[in-house]
C-alpha cells in the first residue's frame, strides 16, 4: 500500500490512491484521458455500412491498449504450431483477379501456415474447446499475402470495437486467472448473454467444430468479405475457404479431456509426425464469388462477419491446392516470430467495409510492435518477402538491413528520384475505386441486426448426434457458471434458436425451461454445415494392436498389412517395449506400453486370438480400459478367435435391455469379431471398412 502524504489536498490524496486501486463499479465510461464515451460498441464509419475512419480516436485508443496488454506472448492465438508448404492454382483466375499467384497454374507459391487455439496461453493443451486459427502466408512474386482466418466461417462480434471486450470476457477471470484455455466460466457467458450478435459463433463453438481431431482434418475460413479485382478494374466480392482433402473430423468431448492429460501436444504432434512421415496434409482453396449487383439480394448482410454465405446459395469453387510438406527447423524463429496481418495483400485483392475487418487492419501491425520489438519485424527471416523491399523507411529497433546511400526521402535529386513510385507497366497496388457517402456516425447498420436466422439454420442443419453434442456442450459450459442469472439468460437466448435446445439445456443446469418454447417455421437447411457427410478414409488413421506372448502372428500380420495398405499406421502395444513372442515362437516388437500411450490416441483397436495371450490380457486392467474407451468413443473395435470373449465379458457401456443387446458389446455397430480363420479374410475386410468410416455414432443412441 502506498503511503499518503498528509499535507496533500483531498484531490491529490484521491489521485494517489486511485493510482493503485480503481473501483469501476459506477460512473460513466471515459477514455484514458478522461473524455466521456457514449458508445463503445461501434466504430466511427462513413455511413452505417461504410469503412471505419482513422479519426476515431476512441477506437484507436481502445484497440491500441488491448494490443499491448501482453508482452511478449500473443494476446490471442498464443498456442500455435506451423509448417511450410506450397500452393498452386488449378487454372488461371485472371477473369476475376489480377493477383499473379492466382493467374498462373505453372507457378508454385511458397507458404507458411500457423494453426492455433485462441484463448489459452502458450502452455495450454491443444485439444480444448475453442476456435482454431488458420493463418496462411503466401510468399508471392508481388509481395507477401496473408489470409488470416479461423476454422469457423463466422465470428462472435460484428465490429472490432468490441474485440477487447470479447477477449477480456473469454480470458481467465482477472482475480484468480482461472480457468485456463476454457470458456466455461461466468464472465464469458455473461458477455454472450448480453450480446445476441454472438449467438451464431456460439453455436459453432458448442459444436464438434470446436474440438477438431487434427489440424489436417479442419476447414479454414477467411471469415470476412473481400474483393477480387481483375486487370480491367472490375470487382467481385469473395469469401475464402480451405477444404481438407481428408475430410472434416472432430474428437469427442470425453476424448479431448483425456487427451489433454496424456498428450497436451496432440494436434501439433499429429501435424509434425505426419509431415515427417510423408503424409503431407492438403487443402483445396475455395472461393465464393458474388457480383456486386447481387449485394442486397439476400436476407443477411454480406458484410456482416457473424453471417456466412450458405454454400447452397453461393457455391464454393475450388481453384487450387495447398500442401504442407516440411516442418519448421526452429519453433521460435519461425512459428513464434511469424507475423500475420490481414492488411498484407497483393494487387488483385482488396478489402470490404466489414467493420470487424477494418479494425483488424490496424490492430495486427500495432500488436507486432510489442511482440516483436519495433517496426522492423518484417525483416525477421520468416516474415521476409521473396521480392526486393525498396523504400525510404530507415532505422528503428532491430533493423537488420544495412541501407546504403545518403538519401531516404522522396522526391529527391541526389539519388535521381529513386526509388520511384511504380509507373505504368510496373507492379503496383491499386485499391478498388468505390464511391463512399453518408454521415459520420457511430451506429450499427439495421441489416446487421438479425442475430438468430443463421444460428437457427446451423442448428437444424446438424445431424441428430451433432445436435446431441451441442446440447451436452452447453450443459457442461453453463454447469460451470456459478451465477444462476447468467445461466437463465443464456437459456432464454437459446430459446430464440430452438425451444427444445433451450429446454434440454435448462433441465440439466437448474434453469427454468422456456414457458413458450420457440420452434422455427420454414427453416432453411445447409447440408455443408454438418460434418456427417464429410469425406472419410482410413488414410493416416492410427490402429493399436494389443499383444502379449502367445498371440496369433498370422492374424496380426493380416490386419496390420491391410491397415497399412489402406493408408493407416499401426502400433503394437504390450507390457514392455520389447519383442513379444507369438505362439509359433516368432516375435513382434512392441513400440508402445500401457504407460507410454493411451486408448484415446488410437482410431481403432484390434486384439488377435491366442489362448495364453488372451489369458494375460484378461488379468490386465489396461485391457478393459482400451476396450471401454474405444467403444465409448464410437471407434472400430475388433477381436478374433478366443479374444472375442474379452469383448463379451467387458461391462457394456449402455442399457442392454433398452437396446436389445444381452451379449455385451459384441453385436454393436463397429465392433467386428471373427471366430475362426475360415472367415478371417471377410473379418479383415470388415475391419478396414470400419476403419474407413471412423466413428459409429449409433452407439450413442443408447
Summarised one tens digit per residue, pLDDT across range 6-16 is 444 555 444 44
- The helix or strand, by DSSP H or E, that contains position 357, with its residue range, turns out to be helix 355-371
As a residue count, the chain comes to 702
CA torsion sign for 660, 661, 667, 668 is positive
Count Cβ atoms within 10 A of the Cβ of residue 409 and give its class: 0-12 exposed, 13-18 middle, 19 or more buried. exposed
Q: Domain 451-529: give its CATH architecture.
A: Up-down Bundle (1.20)
Is residue 158 a contact partner of residue 355, using CB atoms and an 8 Å limit? yes
The residue that leads in pLDDT, 106 or 410, is 106
DSSP string, 20-41: T----SSS--B-TTS-B-S-SS
Task: Judge whether residue 131 has pLDDT over 60.
Answer: yes
* CATH 3.40.50.880 segments of the chain: 542-701
- The pLDDT mean for the chain works out to 91
Rounded Cα distance, 637 and 687, in Å: 8
Task: Judge whether residue 5 has pLDDT over 60.
Answer: no
Write down the residue that cell numbers 469383448 correspond to: 647
Task: Judge whether residue 618 has pLDDT over 60.
Answer: yes
The residue that leads in pLDDT, 55 or 580, is 580
Task: Judge whether residue 658 has pLDDT over 80.
Answer: no
Summarised one tens digit per residue, pLDDT across range 506-545 is 999 999 999 999 999 999 999 999 999 999 999 999 999 9
DSSP string, 383-398: G--SSPP-SS----TT
Confidence band, pLDDT 50/70/90 cuts, at residue 652: low
CA torsion sign for 474, 478, 484, 485 is negative
Instruction: Assign 226 to helix, strand or coil.
Output: strand
Summarised one tens digit per residue, pLDDT across range 310-323 is 999 999 999 999 99
Is residue 197 a contact partner of residue 154, using CB atoms and an 8 Å limit? no
The residue that leads in pLDDT, 542 or 419, is 542
Rounded Cα distance, 147 and 471, in Å: 33
Fold adopted by 58-64+78-383: Catalase HpII,  Chain A, domain 1 (2.40.180)
Instruction: Report the pLDDT value the prediction gives residue 421, as an integer from 0 to 100.
Output: 85
* CATH 1.20.1370.20 segments of the chain: 451-529
Confidence band, pLDDT 50/70/90 cuts, at residue 301: very high
* CATH 2.40.180.10 segments of the chain: 58-64+78-383
Rounded Cα distance, 614 and 167, in Å: 53
Instruction: Report the pLDDT value the prediction gives residue 78, as an integer from 0 to 100.
Output: 87
Summarised one tens digit per residue, pLDDT across range 58-70 is 788 788 778 876 6
Instruction: Report the pLDDT value the prediction gives residue 651, as an integer from 0 to 100.
Output: 65
Give the residue-averaged pLDDT of 100-125: 96
Instruction: Report the pLDDT value the prediction gives residue 10, as an integer from 0 to 100.
Output: 55
Summarised one tens digit per residue, pLDDT across range 152-188 is 999 999 999 999 999 999 999 999 999 999 999 999 9
528: CB partners within 8 A, 6+ apart: 310, 311, 312, 316, 461
Task: Confirm whether pTM is higher than 0.75.
Answer: yes
Rounded Cα distance, 157 and 324, in Å: 31
CA torsion sign for 283, 542, 331, 117 is positive
Lowest mean pLDDT segment, chosen from 268-282, 650-664, 678-692: 650-664
Angle among Cα 160, 82, 261 to the nearest 5 degrees reads: 90
Query: Cell digits for 605?
Result: 483397436
Give the residue-averaged pLDDT of 175-204: 97
Rounded Cα distance, 457 and 461, in Å: 6
In terms of phi and psi (left: phi > 0; alpha: psi -120 to 50; beta: otherwise), the region of 681 is alpha
The residue that leads in pLDDT, 572 or 29, is 572
Confidence band, pLDDT 50/70/90 cuts, at residue 19: very low
Confidence band, pLDDT 50/70/90 cuts, at residue 18: very low
Q: What is the CATH number of domain 542-701?
A: 3.40.50.880
The catalytic residue among 144, 150, 267, 472 is 150
Instruction: Report the pLDDT value the prediction gives residue 97, as an integer from 0 to 100.
Output: 97
Summarised one tens digit per residue, pLDDT across range 232-288 is 999 999 999 999 999 999 999 999 999 999 999 999 999 999 999 999 999 999 999
Is residue 274 a contact partner of residue 232, using CB atoms and an 8 Å limit? no
Summarised one tens digit per residue, pLDDT across range 21-45 is 556 767 777 777 777 778 888 898 9
DSSP secondary-structure letter at 232? T
Angle between helices 484-494 and 186-193 in degrees, nearest 10: 40
User: How far is CA 374 from each of CA 59, 378, 403, 596, rounded to the nearest angstrom?
Assistant: 22, 10, 18, 44
Instruction: Report the pLDDT value the prediction gives residue 3, as an integer from 0 to 100.
Output: 39
Is residue 149 a contact partner of residue 113, using CB atoms and an 8 Å limit? no
- Taking the CA atoms of residue 10, residue 11, residue 13 and residue 14 in that order, the dihedral angle to the nearest 10 degrees is 120
Confidence band, pLDDT 50/70/90 cuts, at residue 88: very high
Instruction: Report the pLDDT value the prediction gives residue 655, as an integer from 0 to 100.
Output: 43
Lowest mean pLDDT segment, chosen from 46-55, 512-521, 595-604: 46-55
Whether 150 is catalytic is yes
pLDDT above 90 covers what percent of the chain?
Answer: 75
Closest CA to 501 of 518, 525, 483: 518
The catalytic residue among 77, 84, 469, 633 is 77
Whether 415 is catalytic is no
Amino acid at each position: 500500500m502506498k503511503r499518503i502524504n498528509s499535507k496533500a489536498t483531498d484531490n491529490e490524496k484521491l489521485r494517489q490512491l486511485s493510482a493503485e486501486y480503481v473501483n469501476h463499479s459506477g460512473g460513466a465510461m471515459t477514455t484514458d484521458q478522461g473524455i466521456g464515451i457514449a458508445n463503445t460498441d461501434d466504430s466511427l464509419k462513413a455511413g452505417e455500412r461504410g469503412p471505419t475512419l482513422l479519426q476515431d480516436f476512441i477506437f484507436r485508443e481502445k484497440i491500441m491498449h488491448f494490443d499491448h496488454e501482453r508482452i511478449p506472448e500473443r494476446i490471442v492465438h498464443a498456442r500455435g504450431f506451423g509448417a511450410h508448404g506450397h500452393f498452386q492454382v488449378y487454372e488461371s483466375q485472371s477473369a476475376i483477379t489480377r493477383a499473379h499467384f492466382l493467374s498462373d497454374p505453372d507457378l508454385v507459391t511458397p507458404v507458411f501456415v500457423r494453426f492455433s487455439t485462441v484463448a489459452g496461453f502458450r502452455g495450454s493443451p491443444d485439444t480444448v474447446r475453442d476456435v482454431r486459427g488458420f493463418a496462411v502466408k503466401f510468399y508471392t512474386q508481388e509481395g507477401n499475402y496473408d489470409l488470416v482466418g479461423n476454422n469457423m466461417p463466422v465470428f462472435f462480434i460484428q465490429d472490432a470495437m468490441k474485440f477487447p471486450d470479447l477477449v477480456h470476457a473469454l480470458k481467465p477471470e482477472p482475480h484468480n486467472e482461472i480457468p485456463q484455455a476454457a470458456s466455461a466460466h461466468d464472465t464469458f457467458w455473461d458477455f454472450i448473454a448480453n450480446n445476441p450478435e454472438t449467438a451464431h459463433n456460439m453455436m459453432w463453438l458448442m459444436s464438434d467444430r470446436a474440438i477438431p481431431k487434427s489440424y489436417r482434418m479442419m476447414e479454414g475460413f477467411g471469415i470476412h468479405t473481400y474483393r477480387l479485382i481483375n486487370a480491367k478494374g472490375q470487382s467481385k466480392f469473395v469469401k475464402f475457404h480451405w477444404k481438407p482433402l481428408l475430410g472434416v473430423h472432430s474428437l469427442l468431448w470425453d476424448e479431448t479431456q483425456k487427451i489433454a492429460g496424456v498428450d497436451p501436444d496432440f494436434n501439433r504432434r499429429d501435424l509434425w509426425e505426419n509431415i515427417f512421415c510423408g503424409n503431407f496434409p492438403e487443402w483445396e482453396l475455395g472461393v465464393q464469388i458474388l457480383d456486386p449487383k447481387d449485394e442486397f439480394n439476400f436476407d443477411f448482410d454480406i458484410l456482416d462477419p457473424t453471417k456466412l454465405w450458405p454454400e447452397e446459395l453461393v457455391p464454393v469453387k475450388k481453384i487450387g491446392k495447398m500442401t504442407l510438406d516440411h516442418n519448421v527447423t526452429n519453433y521460435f524463429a519461425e512459428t513464434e516470430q511469424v507475423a500475420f496481418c490481414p492488411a498484407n495483400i497483393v494487387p488483385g485483392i482488396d478489402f470490404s467495409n466489414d467493420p470487424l475487418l477494418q479494425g483488424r487492419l490496424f490492430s495486427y501491425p500495432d500488436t507486432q510492435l510489442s511482440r516483436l520489438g519495433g517496426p522492423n519485424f518484417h525483416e525477421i527471416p520468416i516474415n521476409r518477402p521473396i521480392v526486393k523491399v525498396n523504400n525510404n523507411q530507415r532505422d528503428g529497433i532491430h533493423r537488420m538491413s544495412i541501407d546504403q546511400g545518403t538519401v531516404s526521402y522522396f522526391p529527391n535529386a541526389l539519388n535521381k528520384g529513386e526509388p520511384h513510385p511504380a509507373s505504368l507497366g510496373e507492379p503496383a497496388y491499386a485499391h478498388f475505386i468505390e464511391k463512399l457517402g453518408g454521415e459520420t456516425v457511430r451506429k450499427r447498420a439495421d441489416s446487421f441486426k438479425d442475430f438468430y436466422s443463421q444460428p437457427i439454420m446451423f442448428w437444424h442443419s446438424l445431424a441428430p448426434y451433432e445436435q446431441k453434442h451441442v446440447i451436452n456442450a452447453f450443459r457442461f459450459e453453463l454447469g460451470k457458471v456459478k451465477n444462476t442469472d447468467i445461466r437463465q439468460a443464456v437459456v432464454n437466448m437459446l430459446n430464440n434458436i430452438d425451444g427444445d435446445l433451450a429446454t434440454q439445456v435448462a433441465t440439466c443446469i437448474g434453469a427454468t425451461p422456456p414457458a413458450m418454447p420457440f420452434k422455427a417455421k420454414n427453416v432453411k437447411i445447409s447440408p455443408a454445415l454438418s460434418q456427417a457427410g464429410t469425406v472419410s478414409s482410413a488414410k493416416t488413421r492410427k490402429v493399436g494392436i494389443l499383444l502379449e506372448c502367445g498371440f496369433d502372428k498370422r492374424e496380426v500380420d493380416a490386419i496390420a498389412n491391410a491397415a497399412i495398405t489402406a493408408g493407416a499406421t499401426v502400433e503394437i502395444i504390450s507390457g514392455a517395449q520389447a519383442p513379444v513372442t507369438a505362439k509359433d515362437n516368432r516375435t513382434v516388437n512392441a513400440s508402445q506400453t500401457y504407460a507410454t500411450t493411451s486408448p484415446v490416441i488410437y482410431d481403432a483397436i484390434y486384439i488377435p486370438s491366442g489362448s495364453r495371450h488372451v489369458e494375460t490380457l484378461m488379468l490386465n486392467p489396461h485391457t478393459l480400459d482400451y476396450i471401454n474407451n474405444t467403444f465409448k468413443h464410437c471407434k472400430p473395435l475388433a477381436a478374433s478367435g478366443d479374444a472375442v470373449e474379452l469383448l463379451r465379458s467387458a461391462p457394456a457401456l449402455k442399457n442392454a435391455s433398452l437396446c436389445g443387446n444381452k451379449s455385451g458389446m459384441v453385436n454393436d455397430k463397429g465392433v467386428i469379431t471373427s471366430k475362426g480363420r475360415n472367415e478371417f479374410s471377410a473379418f479383415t475386410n470388415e475391419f478396414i471398412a470400419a476403419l474407413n468410416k471412423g466413428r459409429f455414432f449409433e452407439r450413442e443412441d443408447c
